[in-house]
Amino acid sequence: MIVGVVGESVGRKSVESLDLRAEVELISTERLIFFSDAVVAIAITLLALDLPVPGGATNHELLVSLQTNLNQYVAFLISFVVIAGHWRGHHHLFGYVDRVRPILRWNLLWLLFIVIMPFATRVLNGGGAFQVRFTLYAVVQALAGASFLLVMRGIRRHDLLKPGSPPNLIRGSSIRMTGLTLTFLLSIPLVFVTKYAYFFWIAVPLVATLARRLTGRLPPDSD
C-alpha cells in the first residue's frame, strides 16, 4: 500500500517535471524567435536610415542627385532582399522547432552577421578601394549564410524538429542557403576582373527560386 502510494507520488512528480521542462523549452523557443525577429527588424531599419536623401531645387538637379546616389540605393535593395530572405528562412524553419538550447549560440552568431550587414553596406558605398569594399561585403553575406547553415546542422543533429514536420524541411532550407552563400563567395574573384561584379548578386533571387523548385522535387529524407 505504502509502496503504491510512494510510486504514484514519484510518477506524478516525474510527469510534472516533464511538463515544466516542456513549458520552459516552449518559452525559450518563443523568446528566441521574438528576439531574432526584433534584431532583423532593427537591421532593416538601420539600412533605411542610411539612405541618402536626394536634393535639388529643380527637377533636373533632383534627378541628377538620384542618379548620383543610385549605387547606394542598389546596395540597399540587395541588402534588404538578403536580410528578408534570411528572415523568411528563419521564420519558416523555426515554426517547426520545439527546442533551441542546443543551437542558441549558432543562432546568436547568425544574428551577429545580420546586425553587421548595415555596416557592411555603408562600407560598400564608400569611395575608393572598391575591390576591398566589395570583398568585405560579400564575406559578411557569406558568413551570415554559413552561420545559418550551422543552425540547421544543429537542428538536424539534435533532432529539434516537432513530430510531423515537412520531410525535406532541413534539406530544402540547406540547399537554398548554400546557393545564397556560394553566390556571394563566387562573386569575390569577379570583382578583380570587372567593376560590374555586383551584377552577380542579382542572381540571388534566381538562385533561391531554382533551389526552391529543386527542393520540391527531392524525395523525403531517409533519416
Distances, alpha carbon 188 to alpha carbons 20, 49, 73, 180, in Å:
50, 27, 21, 13
Q: Which residues of 124-157 are buried (b: 16+ CB within 10 A; e: fewer)?
A: bbeeeeeeebbbbbbebbbbbbbbbbebbebbbe
Q: What is the pTM of this model?
A: 0.81
Sign of the dihedral through C-alpha 98, 103, 105, 111:
negative
pLDDT digits over 144-198, tens only? 999 999 999 999 999 988 888 888 888 888 888 888 898 899 889 988 988 778 7
* pLDDT tier for residue 90 given thresholds of 50, 70 and 90: very high
Average pLDDT for the chain: 83
pLDDT digits over 40-64, tens only? 999 999 998 888 888 878 888 888 8
* pLDDT at 86 > cutoff 80: yes
* pLDDT tier for residue 74 given thresholds of 50, 70 and 90: confident
* pLDDT tier for residue 94 given thresholds of 50, 70 and 90: very high
Query: Domain spans of the chain?
Result: 2-217
* pLDDT at 102 > cutoff 60: yes
Q: For residues 218, 182, 151 and 157, what is the CA-based torsion angle, rounded to 10 degrees? A: 50
Measured between alpha carbons, how far is 15 from 74 in angstroms, rounded to an integer? 56
Measured between alpha carbons, how far is 91 from 88 in angstroms, rounded to an integer? 5
Q: In the predicted model, what is the mean pLDDT of residues 202-206?
A: 69
Contact 204, 81 (CB under 8 A): yes
Q: Which residues of 20-31 are buried (b: 16+ CB within 10 A; e: fewer)?
A: eeeeebeeebee
